[in-house]
Structure formats: structure tokens, C-alpha cells
Amino acid sequence: MPEIVWTPSEDRWQDSALARFARESGFDPRDYAGLHRWSISDLSGFWSKVWDFVGVIGDKGERVFVPNDDAWMTGARFFPDARINLAENFLRQTGDEVVIVEADETGHRAHVTADELRARVAKCADGLRAAGVGQGDRVGAVLPNRTEALVTLLATAAVGGVWTSCSPDFGAAAILDRIGQVEPKVLFAAPRITYGGKPVDVSDRIGEVADQMPGLARLVLVGENTTKAQVPTVAWEEFGQKADLTFTRVPFDAPIYVMYTSGTTGKPKAIVHKTGGVLLTMIKEHVLHVDVRPGDRVLWYSNTAWMMYHWLMSGLAAGATVVLYDGAPVVKRDGELDGTMLWQLVQDERLTHLGISPKYLSTLSDMGFRPRDHYDLASLRWLLASGSPMAPYQYDWMYDAVGDHFGFFSISGGTDLMGCFLTGAPMLPVRRGALMAKALGMAVQVLDDRGVAVIDRPGELCCTEPFPSMPLTFWGEDGDARYHRAYFEDRTQVWTHGDRLTEHLDGSLTIHGRSDFTLNPGGVRIGTADIYNVCERLPQVADCLAFGRPVGDDEEIVLCLQMAGGAAATSELAKEIRTRLRQECSPRHVPAAIYTVGAVPYTISGKRVEGAAKSAALGEEVRNKASLANPESLGDYAGLSQREAL
């Protein structure tokens, strides 16, 4: 079992919302396993209790869970009689308390009170209604993570519309492949942005997108109006009039967001999410799992295209102040990397929760930067991570370099469910290299190739009971069929998520990587994360990527190394890597070939793309390069087999 590296004191969790929820539900708060079993066996009782406990604003209706024996997962309905509005729940705070802190990499700060936010949303909602946006109509946003983006989201929800977004650093083709699918009536966009310390003019890109977007009736420009477009255009300041804030309540299953898959294997899938499922799941996670309390200050580093943006915004419904950060978390200043911005915010704004990625922590470690040596981080109760598996050695670095007074857990779920399958709980210990627990209400099982649940052996992450935030459908033709193929083709009416993991005897879990990119040398399935955890500890290695290369009826492991500045790839290094993998993992983990590359390909949302690298190396077409943050990196992988390996 993974080693415990941090244990919460009893007074730290006894007054948590989860402890109160457990007691009210008849459970000892220490018995998380028992509470979880109840949450997935009594779906009506559990989700009804969640609705009441977190104080959802709306008409609940009489029925909570309506099963369907013929389609147990996809046919089930939650709260079929309910009427709710997401913005009404997010904007429940009133008065002059600060609910939004806006910051960026330049040091800019702005504070927005509850009443100010409500007034801005009311004005934008008036503009949307005047533009003909009503229930079910789509509104698009190509905006940085600033207050204006949040206002457009809340205004769209207030009028019963459907909000969808892309980060402004996406190319025109990537934006059209995503937002273009859903034909929004109104598009909000910023012609100029700043990233990595540099101003970026994207006005031509915005004009191109607007002119090619079917059905677009209005383009609203946030910032300097430098975009030329044929569609009617209006400045942000002139959009809408001062108005009372009203909310259109919609059915529980009414669409609220369209989210997009990374699109690295074809055109991005447009996933349609339900209002009630998103709202209830995310409030549950903030209040029960992440222990967000009224007055807390929460920042998760994200852009507006990622599901974690929506997760962060839902903190408003838990009474938290949400911190918006626009720009890069690490920038180059005077020739040196500067990773201080997020920690400056923790100190200055007294943040209680900070969400980051394992890659970010790895960068800080490589820089030799120790946040606790420079900043007062005493306000921080929770440090959180997502985006990729957290390596065991990173737990050691974190509790040494950042502090030892806070709890930590990784979360794992995704765009697919707008929530978490795996998460944490205030009363559970932190275990080195492991995720704390299964989320309440999520019937997660680790299934082997027989479809049997296993413990202490790798298997597939599956969910065997319905949950409210399952998608409504995929947008477009044959959307239901494509949705079913994505998650239910492998196992009938069992959600197969596509992650490979192990559940330990103590209930914690370790993710080994995506099943799509699981290596299979000699018929033994190996997760790429296990290889990365070893290689990333070597100071000579800045980054790495592994994939399987066909050899007859078998495959061999290819390992690609991005070297740290000034480091050389030598035969001695290759030998050390192979020795460590053999000792720390298994002989099957040892790569047959090791190459050096200039960079590792990543999606714009910061995930490694093993599939694109493998396709390039095998001479196959790499589809939808617009989804990559650095498509030029693939040049190093083309013809890799003709190069001499280490």
C-alpha cells in the first residue's frame, strides 16, 4: 500500500461539511468507505440529500432518480421534475463582499463585489435577450480568463442559453472545429491578449472565425476594436443596457455547456452537458470533497477552454471567492524563468485552495524554486492537482519545498463528465503517489479483461451506476450513437473511461496512464506514467514520451527524451534509465530504443500526445494538428526509426 505522507488532525476535519453530511446521513465520518457504498447503492437517497445539504436553488420536484432497466446507465433520469438555473445558484451571494479576484502575469489585480458581478451579468443578459438568445441557443466565447468571460457564461445561463468556449490562443481552424460545430448566435472575443509576457494580436483570426461561423448574428469585441468582420459587430461596453437580474429556470437535463475533446485523433467531439448534472456534481465536489467554505478563496490555474475553468467557477455556488488568473504560470524575465506569480497570489490574497498541474510542480522543482522560502503560504489549506498522474517523488518535493501544513490530493475525471471519478476527502490521509478515494456518488470499479472487479491489480477505470453529470449527448448527427460508442461500446451499460489504474487495499488508487496509450510488449500491459515517473527524476531529462512500435506480431517500447539545457544524451544515461526501470518497475518496462527529441508534443490544454508522436514516427498522418500547442515538435519524430538509437 502507498506510504502515508500527511495525516489531517482531527480538529481540522471534524467541522468540515463532509463530516456533517456523514453524521446527518447516519455514518461515522471516519467510515468514508461505508459512506461511499451508501452513495452508490441508494442513488435517490444520496442525491436528494446532496441537493438539500448544499442548498440548491430551484424547484426540486417529487422524483429524484428514475431507473431504466433496459438501459441502466444511459436511460436513467435524475430529478426529472426539477426546474433550476445555474447562474441563479452561482450568483447567490449579494452585497459588497469580494467574490472575484482578477489577476495576471503582469501583476494586475482587480476585485469585483457580489453586487457588481450581478449588475454586469444583468447588463450582458439584456444584450443577449435583445440579440434573440433564449433557451437552448448557443453563445460562444473566445476570451482569456478574466471577468468578462465569466460574465458571458453567467449571462448565457441566466437566459437559459448554452455556453461554449475556446481559449484565444487556439488557431482559427481549431476554433471553427469546435465552436463552429454548434452555430452560436452571439460570439464574444478578445482581439488582443497577453501570454508569456508578450502581447499577441489575434484580431485577424477572430475576423476569419466570425466570417466563417454559420448562423452567427453578432460579434462582441472585448478590448480594442481592431477586428474586421462582415457580421454585425459591437463593443463590449455597448452590449446590453442596465437591467434587473432575472433567471430563466430550465429542466434538470436542459443543456448548459458544450465542451470539446482534445481532437488529437480527429475532429473534436462536442459533448453536450446538462444544467442540473453539472451544477449538482460540482457543488458536491466543492462543498464535500474539497472542503470549500463560505469566504474561502480558490484559484485553479486554467484557461477558458478546459473543464477545470467551469469547475473553478462553480466555487461561487459554495460561497467562495474565485480567483481568475490570465497568462502563463511561469514566464521568462531577463533571461530567467520566473514561477512566482501564483505563490504571490496565495500570499497577497490569502488563498485557501490552489489547483495546479504536476507538470507545473515539476518545472518549479527543475528551477530549484522553493515557494515556502519566499512567501507566506499559511492561509493555504489545500493544494490540488489534475491533468496527469502525480509522480510519487513529487509528493516528497511538495511537502518539502511548498509546506507541510496543507492537505493535498489529485483529482481525476474529465471533460466527459464535468467532474471527478477520483478525488479526496478532508478526513483521509495523503498517500505517496496515490489518489485518495473514489468520489461520492460515483460507482467506480477497476475491472480486468474479464469484466471482474480487482484489487491490487491493474485494470480499467469503469463506472457501473448512473450519475447526474453524464453527458446529454454529443452534438451533431448521430450524436447519441457516437456518445454510446465512446463510453459503452466495450462494456454494455458500463461506463469505460479509458484510464488504467490500480485500487489498493486501503482504498487509494494509482493511475498508470490512458488506456489508449497503454504499452503492450510481450502481451503485458504497461502504463506510460510508470515510465515517466522514473525518467522525470533524472536532472538531465527535461521531459519524455513513450509509445509502442510494432515489431512483427509484438511491439517494443520507444522512449523519447527532451534533454535539459546543456545535458547530453549518452550511452551511460541510457543504461541508467534502463537499470532504473528494470529495478523500480519491471523488465517489461525497459525501452528497446531511446531517442532524443527537441520537444514533447502537448495539447493546448497541457496533456502529452503520445498518439501524435507515434503516428509521426510511423509515417502515418497526424490528424487535427490544430489541437496541439506545439505541432512543429512532430518534425523530430518523423523518420525516427531511421535514426540511431541509444
Which whole number is the average pLDDT over 104-123? 96
Per-residue confidence band for 210, with pLDDT thresholds at 50, 70 and 90: very high
Q: Are 166 and 175 in contact (CB under 8 A)?
A: yes
End-to-end CA distance of the chain: 35
Q: Are 489 and 402 in contact (CB under 8 A)?
A: no
Q: pTM score, two decimals?
A: 0.87
Range in 9-23, 496-510, 564-578, 598-612 the model is least confident about: 598-612
What pLDDT is attached to residue 583? Answer: 87
Taking residue 80's Cβ as centre, other Cβ atoms within 10 Å add up to 15
At residue 107, does pLDDT exceed 60? Answer: yes
Length of the chain: 646
Helices (H) and strands (E) in the chain, counts: 18, 36
What pLDDT is attached to residue 356? Answer: 94
CA–CA dist 375, 377 (Å, integer): 6
Question: In this structure, is the dihedral angle defined by the CA atoms of residues 627, 308, 80 and 249, taken in order, positive or negative?
Answer: negative
If one compares 624 and 234, the residue with the highest pLDDT of the two is: 234
What pLDDT is attached to residue 622? Answer: 85
For residue 571, give the C-alpha cell: 550511452
What pLDDT is attached to residue 315? Answer: 97
- Tell which residue, 404, 138, 157, 440, has the closest CA to residue 281: 440
Q: Please, is 383 exposed, middle or buried when counting C-beta atoms within 10 Å of its C-beta (0-12, 13-18, 19+)?
A: buried
DSSP symbol at 602: B
CA–CA dist 117, 447 (Å, integer): 46
Range in 88-102, 105-119, 626-640 the model is least confident about: 626-640
CA–CA dist 168, 145 (Å, integer): 10
Taking residue 376's Cβ as centre, other Cβ atoms within 10 Å add up to 12
- Tell which residue, 44, 35, 51, 49, has the closest CA to residue 67: 44
Q: Please, is 325 exposed, middle or buried when counting C-beta atoms within 10 Å of its C-beta (0-12, 13-18, 19+)?
A: buried
- Return the H-helix or E-strand segment holding 78: strand 77-78
Per-residue confidence band for 516, with pLDDT thresholds at 50, 70 and 90: confident
- The whole-chain average pLDDT of the chain stands at 93
Which whole number is the average pLDDT over 509-523? 81
Residue with cell 523500480: 584
Residues sharing a CB contact under 8 Å with residue 399, sequence separation 6 or more, in sequence order = 5, 6, 408
DSSP symbol at 268: P
Percentage of the chain lying above the pLDDT 90 cut:
74
User: pLDDT tens digits for 560-618?
Assistant: 999 998 888 999 999 999 999 988 888 888 999 999 999 999 887 678 888 889 989 99
What pLDDT is attached to residue 626? Answer: 74
Per-residue confidence band for 16, with pLDDT thresholds at 50, 70 and 90: very high
Radius of gyration of the chain (CA): 24
Report CA-CA distances (Å) from 188 to 141, 178, 221, 418: 5, 15, 6, 23
User: pLDDT tens digits for 321-346?
Assistant: 999 999 889 988 888 889 999 999 99
Percentage of the chain lying above the pLDDT 70 cut:
99
Q: DSSP secondary structure string, 606-633?
A: S-B-HHHHHHHHTT-----GGGBS-GGG
Residue with cell 460515483: 442
Q: Is residue 58 helix, strand or coil?
A: strand
Which whole number is the average pLDDT over 617-640? 86
Half-sphere exposure (CA, 13 Å, Cβ side) for 206? Answer: 31
Which whole number is the average pLDDT over 364-389? 93
Report CA-CA distances (Å) from 552 to 555, 556, 588: 7, 10, 17
Question: In this structure, is the dihedral angle defined by the CA atoms of residues 143, 144, 149 and 150, taken in order, positive or negative?
Answer: positive
Report CA-CA distances (Å) from 563 to 69, 230, 394, 452: 55, 47, 19, 42
What pLDDT is attached to residue 506? Answer: 95
At residue 388, does pLDDT exceed 80? Answer: no
**Beta bridge mates, 409:** 384
> Crossing angle of helices 114-130/147-158, nearest 10°?
60
The amino acid that residue 495 corresponds to is: W
Q: Is residue 138 helix, strand or coil?
A: strand
Residue with cell 437591467: 243
What pLDDT is attached to residue 344? Answer: 96
**Beta bridge mates, 258:** 164, 272
What pLDDT is attached to residue 621? Answer: 85
Long-range pairs for 529-533 at CB < 8 Å and ≥24 separation? 529/388, 529/389, 529/391, 530/585, 530/589, 531/557, 531/559, 531/581, 531/585, 531/589, 531/591, 532/389, 532/391, 533/389, 533/391, 533/392, 533/393, 533/433
For strands 495-503 and 459-463, give the pairing.
Answer: antiparallel
Half-sphere exposure (CA, 13 Å, Cβ side) for 541? Answer: 23
At residue 263, does pLDDT exceed 70? Answer: no
